[in-house]
Structure 1
Amino acid sequence: MSSANEQGEIFPTRLKLRRIDPERNIRRFYLMQVQPDLFGGASLIREWGRIGNCGRVLVEHHADEGEAASSLMTIARAKGRRGYGA
């Protein structure tokens, strides 16, 4: 039987990415968190912007935590292709 810690490693509920390129003056962050909501579902909270400044926030509502974690991983792959890393 797997523990909650093992489950967290397989399906992350929090991910912080950065993209830094001094030559192009790029210093950006992208933060994603999966949180349960009050209605039995889950929300994916996304925050992004320039490092050192307040970011923009977007909340996506999903039917369950698995669906929200899947969305998090899809976005993380897309951000990885654009140069973001942990």
Structure 2
Amino acid sequence: MGKEDACPVHLRRIDPTQNMRRFYTLAIQPTLFGGASVIRNWGRIGTNGQSMMETFDSEDEAAAASLRLERAKRRRGYTASGTTGSS
């Protein structure tokens, strides 16, 4: 909960040649029962997109899953959106 992993990760992939403008957001939030959830939100930039929540028994497991997802998206061409440091 007090880790720096709690910051949401905002990624985007823009390719005008394919008419592609996508976003992907990952966030970790604690559950009511002591676990943690990875919340994913993705879609075309300018829309609400889709969401998925996956729960884990510990925050460490959730952080590992989030990191795996982020690496997979970066391999597919997603980059940081540039506005990830202010709060």
TM-score tier (shorter): 0.7 to 0.9
Counterpart position of 2:39? 45
Instruction: Give the greater-gyration-radius structure (CA).
Output: 1
Q: Match for residue 85 of structure 1?
A: 79
- Unpaired runs of 5+ residues, structure 1, are none
Show structure 1 runs of 4+ deviating over 3 A. Answer: none
TM-score (norm 1): 0.86
| C-alpha RMSD of matched pairs (Å) | 1.2
User: Which amino acid letter does the alignment assign opposite residue 55 of structure 2?
Assistant: H
Q: Which residue of 2 aligns with 1:56?
A: 50
Q: Which ranges in structure 2 are unaligned for 5 or more consecutive residues?
A: 81-87
In the TM superposition, what whole-angstrom CA distance separates every residue of 1:47-85 from its partner, at most 9, and x where no partner exists?
A: 000000111000000011111111110001100110001
TM-score w.r.t. the length of structure 2 is 0.85
Q: Is the 2:6–2:29 Cα contact (8 Å) retained in structure 1? A: no
Deviation track 1:22-43 (CA, whole Å, cap 9, x = no partner) reads 1110000000100000011000
More helix by share: 1
Which of residues 50, 67, 70 is equivalent to 2:64?
70
